A = this chain, B = another copy of it.
Amino acid sequence: MPAMPHALDCPGCAAPELAFAAHDHAHCAHDALERAEAVTAANGARMTPVRRRVLEILLENHKALGAYDVLARLGAEGFGNQPPVAYRALEFLVEQGLAHRIQRLNAFTACTHPGEEHAPAFLICRLCHMVAEAEASAARTSLDAEAARAGFRVERSTIEALGLCPACQGAA
Protein backbone atom coordinates (compact mmCIF):
# COMPACT_ATOMS: atom_id res chain seq x y z
CA MET A 1 0.00 0.00 0.00
CA PRO A 2 1.94 3.01 -1.23
CA ALA A 3 1.12 5.82 1.16
CA MET A 4 2.19 8.87 -0.75
CA PRO A 5 0.58 8.35 -4.17
CA HIS A 6 -2.62 7.51 -2.42
CA ALA A 7 -2.64 10.55 -0.20
CA LEU A 8 -2.01 12.76 -3.19
CA ASP A 9 -4.94 11.27 -5.02
CA CYS A 10 -7.49 11.43 -2.25
CA PRO A 11 -8.62 14.82 -0.94
CA GLY A 12 -10.16 13.22 2.11
CA CYS A 13 -6.90 11.56 3.05
CA ALA A 14 -4.46 14.22 1.96
CA ALA A 15 -6.33 16.88 3.89
CA PRO A 16 -8.61 15.23 6.40
CA GLU A 17 -9.90 18.57 7.61
CA LEU A 18 -11.70 18.63 4.29
CA ALA A 19 -14.01 15.78 5.20
CA PHE A 20 -16.75 18.12 4.06
CA ALA A 21 -15.31 18.14 0.54
CA ALA A 22 -16.31 15.49 -1.96
CA HIS A 23 -13.91 12.59 -1.87
CA ASP A 24 -13.65 8.90 -2.61
CA HIS A 25 -15.06 7.81 0.68
CA ALA A 26 -14.83 4.06 0.10
CA HIS A 27 -11.15 4.59 -0.43
CA CYS A 28 -10.88 6.86 2.59
CA ALA A 29 -12.54 4.25 4.81
CA HIS A 30 -10.59 1.35 3.42
CA ASP A 31 -7.37 3.18 4.01
CA ALA A 32 -8.31 4.05 7.58
CA LEU A 33 -9.01 0.39 8.30
CA GLU A 34 -5.65 -0.67 6.94
CA ARG A 35 -3.94 1.92 9.05
CA ALA A 36 -5.91 0.81 12.05
CA GLU A 37 -4.58 -2.73 11.70
CA ALA A 38 -1.07 -1.32 11.56
CA VAL A 39 -1.59 0.91 14.58
CA THR A 40 -2.98 -1.82 16.81
CA ALA A 41 -0.30 -4.26 15.74
CA ALA A 42 2.36 -1.69 16.55
CA ASN A 43 0.78 -1.15 19.96
CA GLY A 44 0.54 -4.83 20.73
CA ALA A 45 -3.24 -4.51 20.90
CA ARG A 46 -5.75 -6.89 19.38
CA MET A 47 -8.08 -5.86 16.60
CA THR A 48 -10.88 -8.33 17.24
CA PRO A 49 -14.04 -8.82 15.17
CA VAL A 50 -16.26 -6.60 17.33
CA ARG A 51 -13.69 -3.85 17.42
CA ARG A 52 -13.06 -4.00 13.70
CA ARG A 53 -16.76 -3.99 12.98
CA VAL A 54 -17.35 -0.95 15.19
CA LEU A 55 -14.61 0.89 13.39
CA GLU A 56 -16.13 -0.06 10.04
CA ILE A 57 -19.49 1.24 11.19
CA LEU A 58 -17.99 4.54 12.29
CA LEU A 59 -16.14 4.77 8.99
CA GLU A 60 -19.30 4.50 6.92
CA ASN A 61 -19.59 8.25 6.93
CA HIS A 62 -18.15 11.31 8.58
CA LYS A 63 -20.89 11.62 11.15
CA ALA A 64 -20.76 10.91 14.84
CA LEU A 65 -22.67 7.91 16.13
CA GLY A 66 -24.01 7.37 19.62
CA ALA A 67 -22.96 4.24 21.46
CA TYR A 68 -26.49 2.89 21.21
CA ASP A 69 -26.60 3.43 17.46
CA VAL A 70 -23.46 1.35 17.17
CA LEU A 71 -24.90 -1.18 19.57
CA ALA A 72 -28.06 -1.63 17.51
CA ARG A 73 -25.94 -2.42 14.47
CA LEU A 74 -23.83 -4.90 16.39
CA GLY A 75 -26.84 -6.64 17.87
CA ALA A 76 -28.44 -6.97 14.44
CA GLU A 77 -25.29 -8.65 13.20
CA GLY A 78 -25.10 -11.29 15.89
CA PHE A 79 -22.75 -9.61 18.31
CA GLY A 80 -23.80 -8.91 21.88
CA ASN A 81 -26.55 -6.35 22.23
CA GLN A 82 -25.90 -4.96 25.67
CA PRO A 83 -24.37 -1.51 26.19
CA PRO A 84 -20.96 -2.63 27.46
CA VAL A 85 -20.29 -4.39 24.17
CA ALA A 86 -20.43 -1.08 22.32
CA TYR A 87 -18.83 1.03 25.02
CA ARG A 88 -15.88 -1.31 25.40
CA ALA A 89 -15.14 -1.41 21.70
CA LEU A 90 -15.50 2.37 21.42
CA GLU A 91 -13.27 2.92 24.41
CA PHE A 92 -10.66 0.67 22.85
CA LEU A 93 -10.76 2.56 19.57
CA VAL A 94 -10.44 5.89 21.34
CA GLU A 95 -7.48 4.62 23.37
CA GLN A 96 -5.77 3.47 20.19
CA GLY A 97 -6.39 6.81 18.54
CA LEU A 98 -8.67 5.26 15.93
CA ALA A 99 -11.80 7.09 17.00
CA HIS A 100 -12.68 10.26 18.88
CA ARG A 101 -15.36 11.10 21.33
CA ILE A 102 -17.35 14.23 20.55
CA GLN A 103 -18.26 15.65 23.94
CA ARG A 104 -20.91 17.97 22.63
CA LEU A 105 -22.84 15.10 21.06
CA ASN A 106 -22.09 12.27 23.46
CA ALA A 107 -21.08 10.42 20.35
CA PHE A 108 -18.13 8.92 18.53
CA THR A 109 -16.53 9.41 15.16
CA ALA A 110 -13.80 7.54 13.31
CA CYS A 111 -10.44 9.22 13.25
CA THR A 112 -9.60 10.48 9.79
CA HIS A 113 -5.85 10.17 10.17
CA PRO A 114 -5.04 7.36 12.54
CA GLY A 115 -1.47 6.71 13.43
CA GLU A 116 -0.46 10.34 13.36
CA GLU A 117 0.01 12.06 16.68
CA HIS A 118 -2.76 14.57 16.88
CA ALA A 119 -5.27 16.24 19.14
CA PRO A 120 -7.62 17.86 16.71
CA ALA A 121 -10.43 20.34 16.98
CA PHE A 122 -13.78 19.13 15.71
CA LEU A 123 -16.04 20.99 13.34
CA ILE A 124 -19.62 19.85 13.81
CA CYS A 125 -22.28 20.85 11.31
CA ARG A 126 -25.55 21.48 13.10
CA LEU A 127 -27.61 20.72 10.00
CA CYS A 128 -26.11 17.65 8.31
CA HIS A 129 -24.26 16.48 11.43
CA MET A 130 -21.02 15.86 9.61
CA VAL A 131 -17.91 16.09 11.74
CA ALA A 132 -14.49 17.08 10.45
CA GLU A 133 -11.17 17.25 12.21
CA ALA A 134 -9.21 20.46 12.05
CA GLU A 135 -5.70 21.28 13.07
CA ALA A 136 -5.83 22.62 16.62
CA SER A 137 -2.23 23.16 17.60
CA ALA A 138 -2.43 26.95 17.39
CA ALA A 139 -5.60 27.06 19.47
CA ARG A 140 -4.10 24.64 21.97
CA THR A 141 -1.00 26.74 22.29
CA SER A 142 -3.11 29.80 23.10
CA LEU A 143 -5.14 27.85 25.58
CA ASP A 144 -2.10 26.41 27.33
CA ALA A 145 -0.54 29.84 27.57
CA GLU A 146 -3.70 31.35 29.02
CA ALA A 147 -3.99 28.47 31.49
CA ALA A 148 -0.40 28.92 32.53
CA ARG A 149 -1.18 32.52 33.47
CA ALA A 150 -3.58 31.11 36.05
CA GLY A 151 -1.02 28.54 37.18
CA PHE A 152 -3.07 25.75 35.68
CA ARG A 153 -1.40 22.79 34.01
CA VAL A 154 -3.37 21.46 31.06
CA GLU A 155 -3.30 17.72 30.50
CA ARG A 156 -6.01 17.27 27.92
CA SER A 157 -8.21 19.74 26.15
CA THR A 158 -11.39 19.58 24.18
CA ILE A 159 -11.96 21.98 21.31
CA GLU A 160 -15.20 21.67 19.40
CA ALA A 161 -16.93 24.07 17.08
CA LEU A 162 -20.59 23.98 16.19
CA GLY A 163 -21.70 25.69 13.01
CA LEU A 164 -22.37 25.18 9.34
CA CYS A 165 -20.34 23.16 6.88
CA PRO A 166 -19.79 24.56 3.39
CA ALA A 167 -22.69 22.65 1.84
CA CYS A 168 -25.17 23.63 4.53
CA GLN A 169 -24.24 27.30 4.38
CA GLY A 170 -25.71 27.30 0.90
CA ALA A 171 -28.84 25.53 2.05
CA ALA A 172 -29.38 28.04 4.86
Contact = CB atoms under 8 A, between A and B. Distances in A.
B139 A146 contact: yes
A103 interface: yes
Given A17-B149, A103-B103, A159-B159, A143 B154 contact: no
B138 A150 contact: no
A92 interface: no
B162 A20 contact: no
B159 A163 contact: no
A160 interface: yes
A103 B153 contact: no
A82 interface: no
Contacts of A164: 152-153, 155
A24 interface: no
Q: Which of A136, A158, A169 has the most CB of B within 10 A?
A: A158
A142 interface: yes
Interface string A117-159: 0000101011000001011101111111111011111111111
B123 A20 contact: no
Contacts of A23: none
Interface string A83-108: 00000000000000000000110000
Interface of A: 17-18, 20, 103-104, 121, 123, 125-126, 132, 134-136, 138-147, 149-166, 169
The 5 A-B residue pairs with the shortest CB-CB distance, nearest first, are A151-B166, A138-B142, A139-B142, A155-B163, A157-B161
